[in-house]
Amino acid sequence: MERILEHFRAITAIPRCSHHTTKMKDYIKTFALSLGFEVQEDHAGNILCQKGSPKVCLQAHYDMVCIGETHKIEIVLENTLIKAKNSTLGADNGMGMAIMFWAMERNENVECLFTSDEEVGLIGAMQFRLPLKSSYLLNLDAEEEGEIYIGCAGGVDVIASLALHYVPLDEQAKLYEISAFDFVGGHSGVDIDKKIPSAIKALGYELLKHDLSLVSLQGGERRNAIPKSAKAIVASKAPLQVEDTRLSVKALEEGTYTSAIAQSNAIIKAIGAFAQGVREWDRTLDIPSMSINLGIISDFEGVLRLDCAARAMDDKNLAILTHETMAFFKALGFDVKQEGWHGAWNPEMTSFAQSVYGVMKEFYPHAAFKAIHAGLECGELILRQPKKIEAVSIGPTIRYPHSLREECDMNSVNNTAFIVQKIINTYKD
């Protein structure tokens, strides 16, 4: 499927970090119009492309999580794997888009929906109101070949902030920089149960072991990514050595900083005591039922901010986790708010799901229905349609999304494309 790879290279060459996707949006519209599609764009930047009398709507989001050198993504091919050098690859969800472009070139009766800003809270999907012609929605944002997703977690962002006060540094204190380095990172949903260490938590544990004051604190890359880096500037009266071999410490010159954060103790307690990771397990689905990720710590213009991404497989547990997290930070003196709530997509065995399963079995004899502990747009999209829409999610194998290790298996891309085409063919008449 050289053509799909060509499409992906073209997509990758265009900047599309969340909230900065104008060029990508223009490219999609130009491409669709060149093939004779009717194109509509709504106020949220969602792009709906329609041609003929479609029965199936293909859907993917066009933004990506940008970590590393994403201003110029350098693609690397290793046998059947496609990777990026020193950045996220953007196969999530760029490969789904490439498959859609390929399908648009091959079919006269098809509908394609490209949604905006999925990676920062399903923003586009939650605001989508344009009516679909199709009765079936095929989302291409799943990340494991042979699996058919019929449900997903809901999510919400919890943001804690603290107005900082400063006190003069103790004259006897020495300045040090403590860094958490070379952590692998990962997706805060699908990777949260894989025992991937958080750089922020590793730093937090270390800070708890010492009698020190904070001068500044930074960590993490994206709220929905397991942190791969974190750094603290601290003042300590005693010579400072770290116990965690994954961390480094170096002494700083005297006079580099003159003040420390007055609330150092509360901040260190908040980070050290925060319960990162899986909070509850669903034995029926064999996936996490509740989880939370402390993704970012930022110290900017006198305000410390902590960004957390919470997930749950049902709305009740999501509400419980949200309130518990907010109460935790409030008890330590933080101001807290929540943003970007999106509900869970409750698993449902529909006729469309069974049809997709029949096609999938031809390529993957061990195909299975799944729910995913991450956000998929299906639930939000079908909830807002004036007619009943049946939805499932499939996709090629993508490993380590939202990290510098992100990779995609091209054999699974080819298989997924054939499956997509067979599904379209199934509903032609």
Q: Given the DSSP bridges, would you call strands 110-115 and 154-163 parallel, antiparallel or unpaired?
A: unpaired
| Same domain assignment for residues 17 and 149 | yes
Q: Which residues of 167-184 are buried (b: 16+ CB within 10 A; e: fewer)?
A: eebeeebbbbbbbbeebe
Rounded CA separation 255/215 (Å): 12
| Same domain assignment for residues 131 and 173 | no
DSSP 306-324: EEEEEEESSHHHHHHHHHH
Does the structure show a pLDDT above 70 at 424?
Answer: yes
| Same domain assignment for residues 15 and 78 | yes
Rounded CA separation 344/378 (Å): 10
| Same domain assignment for residues 54 and 115 | yes
DSSP code of 138? E
Percent of the chain with pLDDT over 70: 100
Rounded CA separation 106/117 (Å): 27
Q: Point out the domain boundary residue: 304, 327, 342.
A: 342
pLDDT tens digits for 379-407? Answer: 999 988 999 999 999 999 999 999 899 99
Rounded CA separation 118/155 (Å): 12
| Same domain assignment for residues 136 and 279 | no
| Same domain assignment for residues 127 and 216 | no
CA 409: distance to chain centroid?
A: 19
Rounded CA separation 227/293 (Å): 9
Rounded CA separation 84/86 (Å): 6
Q: Point out the domain boundary residue: 299, 317, 342.
A: 342
Percent of the chain with pLDDT over 90: 92
Rounded CA separation 270/307 (Å): 12
Average pLDDT, the chain: 95
| Same domain assignment for residues 364 and 236 | no
**pLDDT band, residue 285 (cuts 50/70/90):** confident
Residue 96: CA count within 13 A, CB half-sphere: 28
Does the structure show a pLDDT above 90 at 256?
Answer: no
Q: Given the DSSP bridges, would you call strands 247-251 and 230-236 parallel, antiparallel or unpaired?
A: unpaired
Q: Domain limits at 173?
A: 156-342
Residue 420: the pLDDT is: 98
Residue 429: the pLDDT is: 66
The answer to whether the pTM exceeds 0.95 is: no
**pLDDT band, residue 182 (cuts 50/70/90):** confident
3-state secondary structure of 34: helix
Does the structure show a pLDDT above 80 at 227?
Answer: yes
pLDDT tens digits for 133-156? Answer: 999 999 999 999 999 999 999 999
Residue 322: the pLDDT is: 98
| Amino acid at residue number 61 | H
| Same domain assignment for residues 134 and 162 | no
The enclosing domain of 108 has a CATH number of 3.40.630.10
Residue 321 has phi, psi (to 5 degrees) of: -60, -40
Does the structure show a pLDDT above 90 at 48?
Answer: yes
H helix and E strand count, the chain: 10, 25
| Same domain assignment for residues 148 and 44 | yes
Instruction: Count up the domains in the chain and report the number.
Output: 2
| Same domain assignment for residues 265 and 334 | yes
18, 48, 111, 384 from 43: Cα distances, Å = 16, 12, 19, 15
| Same domain assignment for residues 348 and 418 | yes
Question: Distance between terminal CA atoms of the chain?
Answer: 27
Q: Which helix (H) or strand (E) holds 50?
A: strand 47-51
Q: What is the mean pLDDT of residues 2-20?
A: 97
Nearest to 357 by CA among 371, 369, 348, 346: 369
Nearest to 342 by CA among 370, 378, 395, 307: 378
68, 185, 292, 296 from 191: Cα distances, Å = 19, 9, 12, 17
Q: Which residues of 94-108 are buried (b: 16+ CB within 10 A; e: fewer)?
A: bbbbbbbbbbbeebe
Rounded CA separation 59/51 (Å): 15
DSSP E strand boundaries for 104-246:
110-115, 136-139, 147-152, 154-163, 166-168, 174-180, 186-187, 213-219, 225-226, 230-236
Q: Point out the domain boundary residue: 309, 342, 375.
A: 342
Nearest to 247 by CA among 299, 200, 189: 200
| Same domain assignment for residues 214 and 278 | yes
Q: How many CB atoms lie within 10 A of CB 413?
A: 26
